[in-house]
Structure 1
Amino acid sequence: MCLETTSTNSKTQALITQGYKVIAEYQLIEQMQLKGIYAIPSYSSAVLWFGVIFIHSGLYADGIFRFSILLPDLFPDAVSLPTVIFEKGVFHPHICTISHSLDLTPLFQYWNKKEHHIWHILKYIQLIFADPEGSVCMRLSSNGEPILLSDVNNMEAMRLLSHSRVDYSLRVKACIASSLEHMFDTPPIKDPHYIIFKRYQPEMHRAVMERLKSNSWYSLAAPSSQPSECVARIESEQQLRREEAAQRAGLGNSQN
């Protein structure tokens, strides 16, 4: 009995410790102030996250795509990568048409808890939609030509992206239309943290809209506050990395 009690206590302590680490990951995301993408841990499990991305420009403009992040049981100590699954079929070279899983290997080969965080995954998701062409390029050749990845989750999407941008765009528009059509579907899981959308109801939302328009609401904001910018408008990997460097610098200054 003593051995069983000790084992149970150890597992409980491990879960509590993991919970604190997951909360720390969520706080990092809040500090990064990512725009247009949101993720939150499940109420029932620390290793299950719910997310959604809103895209405002580029080929995927107007898309609203849900996704889930499943962390390894031993997160963050495990070296295996998290699993990202999109809820509905999204047409993209890095997203499998069958499992709807996102290939994370272009971002990193294994998980290193000292270097990698969940916000890296969110940034990567932003990148593949903001710059699909750049996301499938390994590097540039000596002549400056892009070298495409030889293996991706959706080879048909890769082929169209490389040789027929018009056809690729048509497939993308179809998946965007599908995502909007299912935006108000009943949640597939009963969890209070699952991100849901409700249709506009005047009797319910008019009061909130009036508050947002009132002078008292705007007076709550600091006079020096700047309007936010949408990260989904990033047009290249280089721009995303510059923004990431600026955010890192801002975090460092705030901590000092």
Structure 2
Amino acid sequence: MPSSDNLSVWYGVLFVHKGYYKSGVFKFRMVVPEVYPALPPTVTFLTDIFHPLVDVSGNLSLVQRFPTWRPYQDYLLHVLHYVKNMFKRPVLDSLLDKHCHNKEAYRLYRNDPVIFSKLAQQCAQLSITESFLFDHFPDNNLIRFSPLAEAKFGKL
């Protein structure tokens, strides 16, 4: 969904149902450059996430999927599809160290999948706590979650 004040800034939420990040709810922002489609968008996760492609500031590396951005062949839809698929095993299995922002997550995924799984599940569980789920940061993000009272839930 576009932000409330800038059509070049989009917000999204990804609900993960399977795999290492099962039950995670990950909020992200996609910024479309003024010269798009000449340059790719940037994607930043607003929810803390332990993933090989995401650095400590939440920036997603798109280089693995888009080594060379191809205007009029690569589109926002392709980027969003990659954001969805980055949590799936085929993408994780195909990652190369040189494309990963989080080297420790990459190393653990390759060499110690049990620890990686625990850390991935920990960030997924953290993402659904009230403090993360109901946080409306930043203010121009129109995607908002709020608690639903039992009485209201019953009416629905």
The TM-score normalised by the length of structure 2 is 0.89
Tell me which stretches of 4 or more aligned residues in structure 1 moved more than 6 Å: none
Deviation at 1:150, TM superposition (A): 3.2
Superposition pairs for residues 1-256 of structure 1, below 5 Å? 40-76=1-37, 79-97=38-56, 99-131=57-89, 132-136=91-95, 148-181=96-129, 182-185=132-135, 187-191=136-140, 194-208=142-156
Aligned pair count reads 153
Residues 61 and 100 in structure 2, CA contact (< 8 A), matched pair in contact too? yes
Structure 2 SS opposite 1:120: helix
Q: Distance in 1 between matches of 2:6 and 2:94?
A: 31
Residues 31 and 42 in structure 2, CA contact (< 8 A), matched pair in contact too? yes
Identity of aligned residues (%): 29
Q: Distance in 2 between matches of 1:44 and 1:183?
A: 22
Q: Distance in 2 between matches of 1:149 and 1:189?
A: 32
Residues 97 and 103 in structure 2, CA contact (< 8 A), matched pair in contact too? no
Give 1 or 2 for the bigger CA radius of gyration.
Answer: 1
Q: Distance in 1 between matches of 2:19 and 2:144?
A: 25
Structure 2 SS opposite 1:60: coil
The TM-score normalised by the length of structure 1 is 0.56
Deviations 1:46-90 (A, max 9, x none): 1100001001111111111000001112223xx322110001221
Structure of greater relative contact order (alpha carbons < 8 Å, 6+ residues apart)? 2
Query: Residue 96 and residue 195 in structure 1: after superposition, are their counterparts in 2 closer, same or farther (change >3 A)?
Result: same
Aligned-CA RMSD value: 1.7
Residues 95 and 153 in structure 1, CA contact (< 8 A), matched pair in contact too? yes
